[in-house]
């Protein structure tokens, strides 16, 4: 790519300096708060339209596999990541619909996604049980246990405000009143539900239980918000500079998105994150790209279209590699030995395999960090010739996070990375 414009270069330089600060020097941890020294973090990164398979999947396996053009940015991180091929959600055959099942692996009501199960486990030990941000449109991949889709922030600058900009006294007061009002409403609704339960028939009890689950989720959220209502936000030596040209200015927005996730991890503001690149047909602002994104995904094996698609796919992995390297360069300091990468699982994947064919087979999978013993490239085809369920890997990730679970959403086993 050619060099970035001056305003963009100044932003990236400023962001780089901020993130390079020694661990926690720019972060004030609230008094009495668990510093999360032994806690695991999870970051799920997704390009919703997947990547071009032929430029992504390696032909050789093992630790010394030859990196493909798309994976080339990970060259300096060998030993810190594993690439998996022949892994997908065996029950999903819905094309673009697979995007919404990316982190669940199955369809149906009240199916919790893997990241939200981890967020439920982490709870309000941190200010935010999970954080979600996407550039270029939403991922629609995160679902709570009560079947509610979690929306992503569409602008990383909004994430900065949530994390680090102090709330005004008026805003704090208004939030306290809202919490009290919502708590009173939930008390009333819960009592009404209990009275109704005495008159329900068996057919209605399942619906009532789902309703009560939603109430319990809301109560937990209110209690967590109340816990952090008067705790000052962390102070960081970071200030967003400049403005993106548009919502497709990926060279501006994507580095900022990942720098803020890193700061959120450093300040222990959250331990579960999703970060994505949405599905749309607008032209992404990257040098060499001149065609709408969705049109590029239906490449028809045309060389010029594949070249542009390759620029975008390579950019995604560049951002992952940059983020993983910064985690690796961040020591745990007074939290223990090792680096933040040892305590952070960084997962790159998509609910789309080959977008040109609307295929949900052989999904792109890269897992980095997390203290795993990484294996380079692993061909996950079973002895019977089938793909390994991706939920097997999710089960392993959840267990690593600390969730006591034997099988996530129908997984047939776990995925060995020990």
Measured in degrees and rounded to the nearest 5, phi and psi for residue 174 equal -65, -40
Residues 35-63 have pLDDT tens digits of: 566 899 999 999 999 999 999 999 999 99
Residues whose CB falls within 8 Å of the CB of residue 99, separated by 6 or more in sequence, listed in order: 48, 139, 140, 141, 279, 350, 351, 352
Determine the average pLDDT of the residues in 262-266. Answer: 97
Distance CA 43, CA 323 (A): 10
Residues 161-195 have pLDDT tens digits of: 999 988 767 766 665 666 565 555 556 666 666 66
Using the predicted structure, report yes or no on whether residue 25 has a pLDDT greater than 60.
no
Determine the average pLDDT of the residues in 391-415. Answer: 97
Lowest mean pLDDT across 148-162, 166-180, 363-377: 166-180
Using the predicted structure, report yes or no on whether residue 216 has a pLDDT greater than 80.
no
144 contacts 150 by C-beta, under 8 angstroms: yes
Q: pLDDT confidence of 23, banded at 50, 70, 90?
A: very low
Rounded to whole angstroms, what are the CA distances from 27 to 11, 24, 39, 40, 184?
20, 5, 18, 19, 36
Residues 101-124 have pLDDT tens digits of: 999 999 987 799 999 999 999 999
Which tokens hold the place of 164? Answer: 């680090």
Determine the average pLDDT of the residues in 370-390. Answer: 96
Residues 334-361 have pLDDT tens digits of: 777 899 999 999 999 999 999 999 999 9
Using the predicted structure, report yes or no on whether residue 31 has a pLDDT greater than 50.
no
CA nearest 16: which of 198, 224, 241?
Answer: 241
pLDDT at 147 (0 to 100): 86
pLDDT at 251 (0 to 100): 97
DSSP 346-408: EEEE-S-S-GGGT--SS--EEEEETT----EEEE---TTSPPEEHHHHHHHHHHHHT---S-S
When mean pLDDT is compared over 20-34, 221-235, 277-291, the highest value belongs to 277-291
Residues 287-297 have pLDDT tens digits of: 999 999 999 99
Q: pLDDT confidence of 6, banded at 50, 70, 90?
A: very low
DSSP conformational letter for 149: B
pLDDT at 215 (0 to 100): 65
Q: pLDDT confidence of 227, banded at 50, 70, 90?
A: confident
Using the predicted structure, report yes or no on whether residue 64 has a pLDDT greater than 60.
yes
Using the predicted structure, report yes or no on whether residue 331 has a pLDDT greater than 50.
yes
Q: pLDDT confidence of 333, banded at 50, 70, 90?
A: confident
pLDDT at 125 (0 to 100): 93
pLDDT at 181 (0 to 100): 58
Q: What is the pTM of this model?
A: 0.83
pLDDT at 22 (0 to 100): 28
How far, in whole angstroms, is CA 237 from its chain's centroid?
24
């Amino acid at each position: 790519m050619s060099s970035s414009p001056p305003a963009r270069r100044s932003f990236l330089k400023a962001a780089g300096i901020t993130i390079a600060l020694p661990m926690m020097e720019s972060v004030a941890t609230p008094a009495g708060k668990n510093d999360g020294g032994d806690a695991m973090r999870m970051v799920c990164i997704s390009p919703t339209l997947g990547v071009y398979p032929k430029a992504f999947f390696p032909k050789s396996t093992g630790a010394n596999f030859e990196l493909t053009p798309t994976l080339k940015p990970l060259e300096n991180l060998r030993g810190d990541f594993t690439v998996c091929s022949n892994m997908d959600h065996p029950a999903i055959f819905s094309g673009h619909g697979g995007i919404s099942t990316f982190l669940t692996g199955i369809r149906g009501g009240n199916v919790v996604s893997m990241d939200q199960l981890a967020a439920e486990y982490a709870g309000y030990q941190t200010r935010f049980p999970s954080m979600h941000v996407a550039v270029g449109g939403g991922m629609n991949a995160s679902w709570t246990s009560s079947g509610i889709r979690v929306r992503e922030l569409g602008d990383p600058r909004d994430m900065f405000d949530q994390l680090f900009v102090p709330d005004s006294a008026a805003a704090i007061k208004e939030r306290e009143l809202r919490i009290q009002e919502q708590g009173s409403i939930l008390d009333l609704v819960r009592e009404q539900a209990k009275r109704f339960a005495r008159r329900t028939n068996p057919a209605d009890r399942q619906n009532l239980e789902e309703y009560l689950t939603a109430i319990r989720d809301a109560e937990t959220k209110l209690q967590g918000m109340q816990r952090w209502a008067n705790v000052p936000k962390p102070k960081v030596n970071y200030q967003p500079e400049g403005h993106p040209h548009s919502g497709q200015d990926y060279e501006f927005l994507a580095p900022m998105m990942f720098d803020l996730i890193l700061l959120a991890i450093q300040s222990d503001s959250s331990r579960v994150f999703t970060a994505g690149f949405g599905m749309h047909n607008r032209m992404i602002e990257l040098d060499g790209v001149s065609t709408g994104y969705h049109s590029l995904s239906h490449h028809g094996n045309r060389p010029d279209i594949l070249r542009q698609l390759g620029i975008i796919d390579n950019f995604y992995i560049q951002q992952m590699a940059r983020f993983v390297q910064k985690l690796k360069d961040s020591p745990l300091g007074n939290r223990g030995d090792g680096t933040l990468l040892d305590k952070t699982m960084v997962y790159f994947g998509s609910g789309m395999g080959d977008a040109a064919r609307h295929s949900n087979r052989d999904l792109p999978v890269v897992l980095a960090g997390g203290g795993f013993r990484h294996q380079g490239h692993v061909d996950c085809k079973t002895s019977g010739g089938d793909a390994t369920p991706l939920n097997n890997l999710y089960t392993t990730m959840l267990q690593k996070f600390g969730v006591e679970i034997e099988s996530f959403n129908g997984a047939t086993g776990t995925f060995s990375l020990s």
